[in-house]
Each structure stands twice: as C-alpha cells, then as structure tokens.
C-alpha cells in the first residue's frame, strides 16, 4: 500500500514523501481524522529549536496528538471504522528492571514527531499496543488532544504516589492549556483538596471556574500557603513560577514540574533544602495513562465539556497550504488547541 507522508524538511517547509506499507504484517493501519498542534510541533515548524537539533531530527512528519479510524487490521482485533487514539510513545524493549522505569522514561523508547515520523500522513502504520478505542460519541475536537491530557493525568498519578498525605491546599501555576488541563483533572481526581490557580491573565483565569480560587501572580496574599504545587508554565516564565511555589509551599511539600524550558532554570535551592521539599519532573505519558484518561472521560463526561473551552482554531486540511495555515494560525494564539480536520488530500 502506497502512503503519503507530509514531512517538515526545513522550517515552514513541508514536502510529500511516499512510503510503502505491508498490509500483511501485524501492525494496524489507521487513517488520521483529527490532529492537534502542540508547542513542540511549533518549535520544529518555526525553527526555534537549536540548529543541531533540527539537523538531527529533520526531515520528519510532525504531530503527536491525534485520533483516527481503523482502516485495516490483518488480525481482525480492530474493526474498520473504529475510532482510536494513537499513542506516540513507542517503547522498543522491555525494561530490564521490570516496571521500575516507565515506558516514557526509557532512553530506548521512541516518540512520534521527535525522532521518527508523527501523524501527518495519509495513513499511519502503528503497533496494536499503541492504539486504544475511544467512546464512539466523544467530541472529536477534544479527543484529538488526548495525548496532552494523558500527560497531565500521568503527572497527577505520580503526584499521588510521591506527595505526603496532607493535601489541604494545592496550587497550580500556569493559565495556559497545560495549566487548565492539569487543574481540571486535579479537581476531579482530588475533589477534597482546595485548588488554587495562579496566572498572568485575569481573563484566562476566569475560565478556571472549577477552582476554589484564582490569583494573579503579582497579587498573591502573603498569608496564603499550599501543601504542594504544580509548575505548568515552562519557558522564560518557569524560574519565577518555581520560585513562587517555593515561597508559598509548606515544609516537606512536593513540587511537580511539567513546563518545558529550552534553557537552564535558576531556582532557590537554599529554600528547597531548608523546607525539605521534594521536586520531581514529569514528561510524556504511556499506555496506562491513556487508558486512565479514557476511563475518566467515561466516568466524568463533564470533563469533555470543560475541555471544549480550549478548542481554538479548527482548520480543514486538504493541501500542504492548509497545513501551513493551521500552523500559522496556531502561532498567533497563546491559549487554545488548534485542531486540524485531516481530510482527503489534493496532492
């Protein structure tokens, strides 16, 4: 079967390359239907990653957030037309240490759109353990960014294992997409804990209606204290966010870092030591996190309704020019997920 792959060959330059797919092997063939643009995709598309990184990674098909319909399964486990979410993390070997190291942290694991082709293809050949069925009635625009939701669910699951049991109040720094998703799922997974959200934009903070309170980062009451904190800012804002968490967190609290920063971040290690804080990072997710996310979709349907609030531009994509338009629209907004409706293409 001949497949068209839409690879980024240089910043803002996408070209078609063709590959052959063997329908007789055990992989499943999925036709992408809805894809979501992530900040990582934008960094490649805009060329803001380091020159050496771009030289190493490109050419490469972008996008690691997406859903699709099953086109072919030689084993018949998945039926044609079934709606599935595609898991970008691809472990290459079993962990020799058992399950001590998660699949998303093994150095041998591969990740779609970061070293090998993502989902910008006519069809995707994918291992059967890298797809999961979605509820057939789920909102497709929301389902498209299930991957980033699973990243938050992964971080929250790790928090539940690492943090001590005093959880009277928790703070989440970040009023963007990641902060919204993490706060929303924290609210559902830990309903008895007071949830405070901290951000820069009052209008964005107004969307966090499920939180117990929201604060602008330059107007935090001096008396406020939290037991644990989550950093969902990343970039140049990460140092201030992390250091504010250190200032307001109670001794022996836990700080979860989710924001991605290209440059080293300076933080107040003296107070980390004095307060006996635990700091841990979370990145990407695995099959178990996707499974838990889907179960939460089913058990708390209001989550999907809330997530509709961060669906931004929706672009019907039939040509490479449409792909470029979607990336340019996405680059002009700092809130909301840009969704590509992946149509049949005019090559």
Residue 172 — very low, low, confident or very high, per pLDDT cuts 50/70/90? very high
Q: Are 90 and 127 in contact (CB under 8 A)?
A: yes
143 lies in the same domain as 290: yes
d(CA 116, CA 143): 23
156 lies in the same domain as 208: yes
144 lies in the same domain as 154: no
97 lies in the same domain as 161: no
Residue 347 — very low, low, confident or very high, per pLDDT cuts 50/70/90? very low
73 lies in the same domain as 101: yes
Q: How far is CA 128 from the centre of its chain?
A: 21
How are beta strands 169-173 and 311-317 bridged, if at all? unpaired
What mean pLDDT, rounded, does the chain reach?
Answer: 95
d(CA 131, CA 85): 6
Residue 188 — very low, low, confident or very high, per pLDDT cuts 50/70/90? very high
240-246 mean pLDDT: 98
- What 3-state DSSP class applies to 230? strand
Quote the pTM value. 0.95
16 lies in the same domain as 53: yes
84-89 mean pLDDT: 98
Per-residue pLDDT, 97: 55
Closest CA to 89 of 57, 59, 65: 65
196-224 mean pLDDT: 96
Residue 87 DSSP code: P
- What pLDDT, in 10s, does the model give residues 280-311? 999 999 999 999 999 999 999 999 999 999 99
Q: What is the dihedral of CA 45, 50, 54, 60, to 10 degrees?
A: -50
161 lies in the same domain as 231: yes
β partners of residue 169: 194
- What 3-state DSSP class applies to 70? strand
233 lies in the same domain as 332: no
141 lies in the same domain as 263: no
How are beta strands 169-173 and 226-231 bridged, if at all? parallel
Structural domain contains residue 13: yes
- The yes-or-no verdict on residue 189 having pLDDT over 70 is yes
259 lies in the same domain as 328: no
Residue 74 — very low, low, confident or very high, per pLDDT cuts 50/70/90? very high
Q: Which two tokens stand for residue 76?
A: 């018949």
Q: Which two tokens stand for residue 170?
A: 């928790």
β partners of residue 279: 255
Per-residue pLDDT, 128: 96
- What pLDDT, in 10s, does the model give residues 37-47? 999 999 999 99
Structural domain contains residue 347: no
d(CA 247, CA 272): 9
Structural domain contains residue 297: yes
Stretch (H or E) spanning 18? strand 13-20
d(CA 100, CA 47): 36
Per-residue pLDDT, 98: 57
Residue 335 — very low, low, confident or very high, per pLDDT cuts 50/70/90? confident
Q: Are 300 and 80 in contact (CB under 8 A)?
A: no
Structural domain contains residue 267: yes
Per-residue pLDDT, 124: 97
Per-residue pLDDT, 50: 85
Q: State the CATH number of the domain containing residue 307.
A: 3.90.180.10
- What pLDDT, in 10s, does the model give residues 106-116? 999 999 999 89
Residue span of the structural domain in which 33 resides: 2-148+285-342
Domain boundary among the residues 228, 263, 281 is at 281
- The yes-or-no verdict on residue 346 having pLDDT over 80 is no
Per-residue pLDDT, 344: 62
Q: State the CATH number of the domain containing residue 249.
A: 3.40.50.720
- The yes-or-no verdict on residue 226 having pLDDT over 80 is yes
246-259 mean pLDDT: 98
Number of domains present in the structure of the chain: 2
Residue 28 DSSP code: E
Structural domain contains residue 211: yes
Domain boundary among the residues 260, 281, 302 is at 281
209 lies in the same domain as 124: no
Write the DSSP string, 30-54: EEEEEEE--HHHHHHHHT-S-HHHH
Write the DSSP string, 308-325: GGGEEEEEEESSHHHHHH
Q: Higher-confidence residue: 233 or 51?
A: 233
């Amino acid at each position: 079967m001949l497949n068209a792959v839409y690879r980024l060959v240089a910043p803002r330059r996408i070209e078609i390359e063709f590959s052959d797919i063997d329908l007789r092997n055990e992989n499943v063939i999925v036709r992408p239907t809805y894809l979501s643009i992530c900040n990582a995709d934008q960094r490649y598309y805009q060329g803001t990653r380091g020159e050496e990184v771009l030289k190493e990674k490109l050419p490469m098909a972008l996008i690691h957030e997406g859903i699709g319909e099953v086109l072919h399964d030689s084993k018949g486990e998945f039926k044609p037309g079934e709606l599935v979410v595609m898991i970008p993390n691809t472990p290459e070997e079993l962990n020799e240490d058992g399950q001590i190291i998660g699949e998303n942290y093994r150095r041998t694991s591969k990740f779609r759109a970061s070293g090998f082709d993502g989902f910008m293809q006519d069809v995707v050949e994918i291992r059967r353990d890298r797809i999961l069925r979605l509820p057939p009635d789920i909102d497709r625009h929301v389902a498209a960014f299930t991957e980033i939701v699973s990243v938050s669910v992964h971080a929250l699951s790790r928090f539940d294992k690492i943090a001590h049991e005093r959880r009277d109040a928790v703070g989440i720094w970040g009023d963007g997409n990641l902060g919204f998703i993490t706060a929303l799922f924290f609210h559902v997974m830990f309903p008895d804990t007071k949830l405070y959200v901290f951000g820069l934009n009052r209008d964005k903070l107004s969307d966090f209606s499920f939180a117990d309170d929201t604060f602008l980062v330059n107007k935090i009451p001096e008396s406020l204290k939290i037991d644990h904190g989550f950093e969902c800012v990343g970039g140049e804002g990460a140092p201030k966010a992390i250091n504010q968490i250190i200032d307001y967190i109670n001794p022996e609290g836990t700080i979860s870092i989710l924001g991605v920063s290209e440059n080293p971040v300076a933080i107040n290690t003296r107070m980390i030591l004095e307060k006996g804080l635990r700091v841990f990072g979370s990145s990407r997710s695995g099959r178990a996190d996707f499974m838990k996310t889907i179960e939460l979709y089913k058990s708390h349907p209001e989550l999907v309704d809330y997530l509709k609030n961060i669906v931004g531009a929706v672009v019907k994509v039939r040509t490479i020019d449409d792909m470029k338009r979607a990336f340019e629209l996405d680059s002009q907004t700092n809130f909301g997920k840009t969704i590509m409706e992946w149509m049949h293409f005019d090559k």
